[in-house]
Amino acid sequence: MSDEITIVEEWTRVKAPNPPELQEVKIKPRETALLVLDVQKTNCSNERRPRCVKTLYKIQTILEKAREREMTVIFTLTSAASKADMRREILPKKGEPIIKAGVDKFFNTELEKMLKEKKTKAVMIVGTSASGAVLSTAIGSAIRKLVTVIPIDAISATYPYEEQYSVWHLANSPGTRRNTILTKTNMITI
């Protein structure tokens, strides 16, 4: 038991690392897909996850730019959700697919096939559940050698630490750091 207490005590003294450097990004619309992850009424509300509600404008802005430039746009939902559960601010348009899945949107879905058919070389990921859907899908993207663009002001979680950890992981993990670009919505040109 004393070893466990020592570990917990050590954790309380950990100083957060410096935030990763953000980069300007020029998106190639024909080679990039926008993935909008799990933005639903149940998990993106002022009651449950107010941090998500605060990102809606940023997500809308990216979504509008992507559509204007005719980028591939794919939406996801949690396994138990339906289209009726989606936030009205970011509803899919006709022809924009919706994938239902657990945290890794590549696992047991058609996402990889869809991206290959479009000859996608990069994905930009926005949405909620930073330490779940965003992190897991970004890892899945990076290990498939897709350039993975994460506008950090368009992802959210229940707590800031989840967002901080997820961004840190993507910037530093051997499986993701070479293929991940961290940015902000105002640093993206489409």
| pTM, two decimal places | 0.94
Instruction: Say what percent of the chain tops pLDDT 90.
Output: 89
Q: How many CB atoms lie within 10 A of CB 165?
A: 16
Amino acid (1-letter code) at residue 178? R
d(CA 117, CA 129): 27
State pLDDT tens for residues 61-99. Answer: 999 999 999 999 999 999 999 999 999 999 999 999 999
**pLDDT higher than 80, residue 3:** no
- The whole-number pLDDT of residue 102 equals 95
Cα separation, 71 vs 132, in Å, equals: 25
Could you say which of 1.10.10.10, 3.40.50.1100, 3.40.50.850, 3.30.70.2740 is the CATH number of the domain covering 20-189? Answer: 3.40.50.850
Angle at 107 between CA 154 and CA 137, to 5 degrees: 20
Measured distance CA(71)–CA(62) in Å, rounded: 11
Predicted local confidence at residue 4, as pLDDT: 65
Tens-digit pLDDT profile for residues 10-66: 888 888 888 899 999 999 999 999 999 999 999 999 999 999 999 999 999 999 999
Q: What angle do CA 109, 115, 119 make, to 5 degrees?
A: 155
Distance of alpha carbon 56 from alpha carbon 90, whole angstroms: 8
